[in-house]
Chain A
Amino acid sequence: MKRQFLSGPYLVWMLVFTIIPLAIVVYYAFTDSITGAFTLENMGAMGTYFPIFLRSIWLAVVSALICLVLGYPVAWCIAQEKPSAQRFLYMLVMLPMCISFLLRTLAWVSLLEDTGIINRLLGAIGIGPLPLVRNDGAVILGMVYNYLPYMIMPLYTVIMKIDHRLVEAAQDLGCDSGQVFLRVTLPLSVPGIVSGITMVFVPAVSTFYISQKLGGTTSTMIGDVIESQFKTAYNPNLGAALSLVLMVLVLACVAVMNRFTGEDESVATI
């Protein structure tokens, strides 16, 4: 059929603007910044950045798990409402994402600072000031705040689609509400959990703004290092090597996560 050719421009576009750029990343990662000759030096430098990679992964995993614990009840509650209320609540979940995440992160800084709103409230009742900002906890808070909607969206989609008759059947067969949740609702929401965790983990592990504003001197993340290689240190070759490792890492994580949902089952977010 001729209509296939309609996708020609798209395929060419994607080849030129995604595949070739990634090939260039690989090329830069394995060449010297001055001579342009092949070198393994950039990749060899990865050892130095290993602790930063590890910390980024750790912070992102913790954030994704917190998002899951907070997001699941929200998604579940929204799914129990009437359709019109569901749409409205869903909109409320998405709305914050439309506002500059830089400014929202700055707002958190002003909430958490030593002279910030929370510490002043605590001070009024005689506590603190607590060191709420410039530490890993604040970075996790910032990531949970920014990426929580990405967790709620797929969870909601999956929970909404669960056949209510299954829940009723379980109740008829003598399950209490805890058992219904553990044996029916939770297993059926696994695809949503998997896609939610990936959707939080990927942006969280590669973020570069949140840690600069909310983190301390030791909370540098891999995104910050990559950004500085391109914007301040001007070593694009090292930056490309770091990006390459980050990309491979993320793809590996996504592939592992997708295993959990089975071979031919599409993750339930369209």
Chain B
Amino acid sequence: MRALSKTVTILVFVFLYIPMLVLIVASFNTGTDMVVIKGYTLANYNALFQDGVLLPLLLNSIIISVIAALVSTVLGTAATLGIHRMGKRMRRFAMFLTNIPLTNPEIVTGVSLALLFAFAGQLMKIKTILGFGTLLIAHITFNLPYVILSVQPKLTQMDPNLTAAAMDLGCTPVQAFFKVVLHEILPGVISGALMAFTMSLDDFVISYFVYGPGFVTLPVEIYNYTKKPLHPKIYALFTLLFLAILLVMLLMNILQARDTARHPGSPAAAPKKRRKLDTRRTES
């Protein structure tokens, strides 16, 4: 039983990483094919840094992800504070709204936003409404639920007397928030922001329906590229991105390990990226 599970696990990890290996090897290939290895070179990396298109696209992706993550974190954290104080019925309604983008297939979210923007464009008589603004709106919309779901558990765990104590000691409600509540929920806020950032950076399906020619992100343009044979400098870009993400994740891992070592009582920090689909979430 145990041996079988171990074997399956090892095979699954091999399965998960084989395509990555193919991409990484292809990035050093002198030929343009992903499969036929002609020789090893760094020319693709050189071409990547000479290329004036891919890096600006990556920058576009990063710009939109940072702004979308910031806005959705602020909006989402405020919303969670509000939802926390709501009556049962209002809270149920708010959580219902939160669950819609999580449960809907991405393509439906993309299509519905595309139709909304087309409709708004007609109303405002603007021909090219699609662009940075529409992309940002879409990203904030699909990020918000992730922020809320990651802040909410921290807020429920918090001792409600803390706020009262702070106010007894002379804090205004705003001061109580910044000095006490924010400190308590900060891990949730940060993990929500990180999740939002990675969701935005990766997103292809929704962006594909709401992007305009004026502002294109990397995943969308990659899709347009994949209709033709790819230049291996794209593999070089993704090898570098892979290494960067690996580094960030390892760093977070070490920080978490330290954090748990320092507070042995606290439950192991919850894993980060997760989708949630049940529609009837109840307070625990």
Given the known interface contacts A73-B9, A99-B241, the answer about A209 and B223 at a Cβ–Cβ threshold of 8 Å is yes
Contact B219 A100 (CB under 8 A): yes
Contact B9 A77 (CB under 8 A): yes
- Which chain B residue shows the least CB distance to A226? B107
For window 74-120 of chain A, which residues contact chain B by CB distance below 8 Å? 74, 76-78, 83-84, 86-88, 90-104, 106-108, 110-111, 113, 115-117, 120
A177 at the interface (CB under 8 A from B): yes
Contact A77 B6 (CB under 8 A): yes
* Inter-chain contacts of B82 with A (CB < 8 A): 3-8, 10
B271 CB contact (under 8 Å) in A1, A14, A157, A199: A157
A220 at the interface (CB under 8 A from B): no
Interface size class of A (residues with CB under 8 A): 35 or more
Contact A110 B111 (CB under 8 A): no
By secondary structure, the A interface counts as: helix
B167 to nearest A CB, angstroms?
13
A100 to nearest B CB, angstroms?
6
A239 at the interface (CB under 8 A from B): yes
| Distance, CA A108 to CA B80, complexed state (A) | 41
Contact A7 B78 (CB under 8 A): yes
Contact B76 A24 (CB under 8 A): no
| Distance, CA A267 to CA B276, complexed state (A) | 8
Given the known interface contacts A9-B78, A94-B271, the answer about A107 and B9 at a Cβ–Cβ threshold of 8 Å is no
| Distance, CA A270 to CA B256, complexed state (A) | 18
Contact B253 A107 (CB under 8 A): no
A92 to nearest B CB, angstroms?
7
Number of interface residues of B (CB under 8 A): 103
A53 to nearest B CB, angstroms?
13
Contact A25 B111 (CB under 8 A): yes
For window 13-41 of chain A, which residues contact chain B by CB distance below 8 Å? 13-15, 17-22, 24-25, 28
By secondary structure, the B interface counts as: helix
| Distance, CA A77 to CA B4, complexed state (A) | 10
Contact A148 B222 (CB under 8 A): no
Contact A199 B35 (CB under 8 A): no
Contact B35 A110 (CB under 8 A): yes
B140 at the interface (CB under 8 A from A): yes
Contact A202 B103 (CB under 8 A): yes
Given the known interface contacts A6-B78, A243-B112, the answer about A103 and B279 at a Cβ–Cβ threshold of 8 Å is no
Contact A73 B8 (CB under 8 A): yes
B1-20 near A? 1/0 per residue, CB < 8 Å = 11011101100110111111
| Chain A residues proximal to chain B, CB less than 8 Å | 1, 3-11, 13-15, 17-22, 24-25, 28, 70-71, 73-74, 76-78, 83-84, 86-88, 90-104, 106-108, 110-111, 113, 115-117, 120, 145, 148-150, 153-154, 156-157, 177-178, 181, 195, 198-199, 202-203, 205-206, 208-209, 213, 223, 226-227, 230, 236, 239-240, 243, 246-247, 250-251, 254-255, 258, 261, 263-264, 266-267, 269-270
**What are 21 sample pairs from A and B whose C-beta atoms fall under 8 A apart?**
A13-B141, A14-B97, A14-B100, A17-B141, A18-B141, A21-B115, A73-B12, A87-B271, A88-B253, A94-B249, A98-B242, A100-B222, A101-B204, A103-B234, A103-B235, A110-B26, A148-B16, A157-B271, A202-B277, A213-B226, A255-B279
